[in-house]
Structure 1
Amino acid sequence: MFHGSMVALVTPMRADGSVDDDSLRGLVEFHVTNGTDAIVAVGTTGEASTLDYDEHCGLIRRVVELAAGRIPVIAGTGSNSTVEAIELTRCAMEAGADACLLVTPYYVKPTQEGLYRHFRAVAEAVPIAQILYNVPGRTAVDMSNDTVARLADISNIVGIKDATGNLERGKELIDRCGDRMDIYSGDDATAMELILMGAKGDISVTANVAPRAMHEMCAAALRGDRVAAHAINADLELLHKNLFVEANPIPVKWALHEMGLIPPGIRLPLTELSSQHHDTVRQAMKRAGVL
């Protein structure tokens, strides 16, 4: 349904933590101009967990308005509360989002049956296209491939963002479910290989700062051109690594501020990138040609 480089968009904030609409407008234009294939608004990288309900829905509506049909918008609407996930997903549908991205319910540690019932309940309540999101390193819950295979039979569950970084596991998902849903990488460091194996794209942190290169790398991998994809990815590998020297989105927001695209704001409990890591991130940006 969605293919290529899909940016996990940051939420630009002023120094006081308020959302900066002017910078948000600039970021959307930046991605439209540079060939990003879809925008994922208010996901992990967008600091969804620090936003209240009204801010969350308001940001989805605003990104849809700014995109103006020029680029698909996928709204992050996951929650550890099934009721809240349904409400956010309904809000996104009413705002005009093209699809929703739903993370596994964090902190509460549901069983596999609980995960299945959670996602089924959201899908049955709201008819918008939905993409599952498995990121056990952040949520303390890991959705098994068996559970994903069960959910793949639900018509409006159209994909999964696999952020495990486990290529063997990702390939199994492609083999078992690829005829019923699209598999996306959620791990920039392994995205090229997973796409070459049959994934349909990458929901990317790196694309925030190197959108054109990520679009071109994903496009090359999608057409099976390993040589071209590898050549592009070689200059991005340091970004894939160094944008995670501290918890995402701390480094990527600092990088975008260095590029003059957003103010330095970030919300507690996240803090600005430690000075000891500035040169590390700058080195990666220079290697990628974005600084």
Structure 2
Amino acid sequence: MKAELKGTGVALATPMNADYSIDYPSLGKLLDHIVDGNADYIVVQGTTGESPVFSWEQKLDILQFVIDHLKGNKPVVFGLGGNNTFDLIEKSNDLKSFDLAAILSASPYYNKPSQAGIIRHYQLLANAFPHPIILYNVPSRTASNMKAATTLELAKHPNIIAMKEASGDLDQCKEIADNRPEGFMLLSGDDGLACDIIKMGGEGVISVIGNLMPEAFTTMVNHALNGDYETAGKLNEDLRSAYSMLSEEGNPSSLKAGLEAIGICKRTVKPPLFDASDGLVERWRELLFTP
């Protein structure tokens, strides 16, 4: 199970129609684009998928569509995180019938629990969830950082298999890489740091840019995983402009501007997010189509 989650996972965007209903034909087109780009697995309903704005029933409908569309060709990870521990445990019961490689669960936001609180939260989830858990540390969104010692303590649990690290702190990532138990995976949660994290021993990345440029990004990651850091570094530098544009008007608004530029879906995002500007869509066209 763990081996299939190495390499490039793509945090799937959720295309929407103008009325904010889910644009399933475009979602299928996006999945085909990612699969054709040789990404290794799909992450459904993470933050990039606008998970906070969909009902539980909608999330399950999206998940079922993705599984049906992929027909077993790629592993699927599902995003299930939040700040209500027992609500998450209850929801996990609805996932027992789904063929999932793992659950990606972000550290609790807003509550700002202590490190001891974070440990207890994840241990309760790990004891109850029917699928393995990938921890997700993203302090820019949760307002609290999972320290390396917290990750290493949680890594002892047999149902916690990996950490998606998006703290941006490479020293913290290195501490995890150097001290984790055998088999526990370190995954980058930042496209621009994926090469650095793989170089220190990480197993891959859960990517945003993989929606838009799956072949170019996956090629870079694979070179890094194969130890060809020189080629990976050059390819990574080629992608720097794209990484920068992804953050200009927030994620996933900036990403969807790029997806509109290449004809995958409209840039529509659901409030409280705001659609990307015409100017950003045009700059994506220039970047992606200029020889």
TM-score, with structure 1 as normaliser:
0.94
CA distance in structure 1 between the aligned counterparts of 2:289 and 2:203, rounded to whole angstroms:
28
For residues 61-94 of structure 1, the C-alpha deviation after alignment (integer angstroms, 9 at most, x for no partner) is 2212212110011100111111232234333342
Q: What code does the residue aligned with 1:19 have? A: I
Q: How does 1:45-194 map to 2 (within 5 A)?
A: 45-177=48-180, 179-194=182-197
Q: What code does the residue aligned with 2:229 have? A: R
Matched, 1:243 2:259: no
Q: What code does the residue aligned with 2:198 have? A: I
For residues 9-29 of structure 1, the C-alpha deviation after alignment (integer angstroms, 9 at most, x for no partner) is 101101111101111111112
CA distance in structure 1 between the aligned counterparts of 2:177 and 2:286, rounded to whole angstroms:
35
What count of residue pairs does the alignment treat as equivalent?
Answer: 288
Q: Which residue of 2 aligns with 1:44?
A: 47
Q: How does 1:280-291 map to 2 (within 5 A)?
A: 280-286=283-289
Deviation (angstroms), 1:184: 0.2
- Per the alignment, in what secondary structure is the counterpart of residue 79 of structure 1? coil
1:87–1:20 distance in 2 versus 1, CA, 3 Å: farther
Q: What code does the residue aligned with 2:225 have? A: L
CA distance in structure 2 between the aligned counterparts of 1:100 and 1:232, rounded to whole angstroms:
30
Q: Which residue of 2 aligns with 1:272?
A: 275
Q: What code does the residue aligned with 2:75 have? A: P
> How much identity, in percent, do the aligned residues show?
36
TM-score, with structure 2 as normaliser:
0.94
- Per the alignment, in what secondary structure is the counterpart of residue 88 of structure 2? helix
Contact persistence 1:15–1:264 (CA under 8 A):
no
Q: Which residue of 2 aligns with 1:7?
A: 10
Q: Which runs of 5+ in 1 are unaligned?
A: none
Q: What code does the residue aligned with 2:273 have? A: L
Contact persistence 2:260–2:281 (CA under 8 A):
no
Deviation (angstroms), 1:286: 4.6
Q: CA RMSD in A?
A: 1.6
Q: Which runs of 5+ in 2 are unaligned?
A: none
Matched, 1:220 2:212: no
Contact persistence 1:8–1:204 (CA under 8 A):
yes
CA distance in structure 2 between the aligned counterparts of 1:5 and 1:186, rounded to whole angstroms:
11
Contact persistence 1:60–1:92 (CA under 8 A):
no
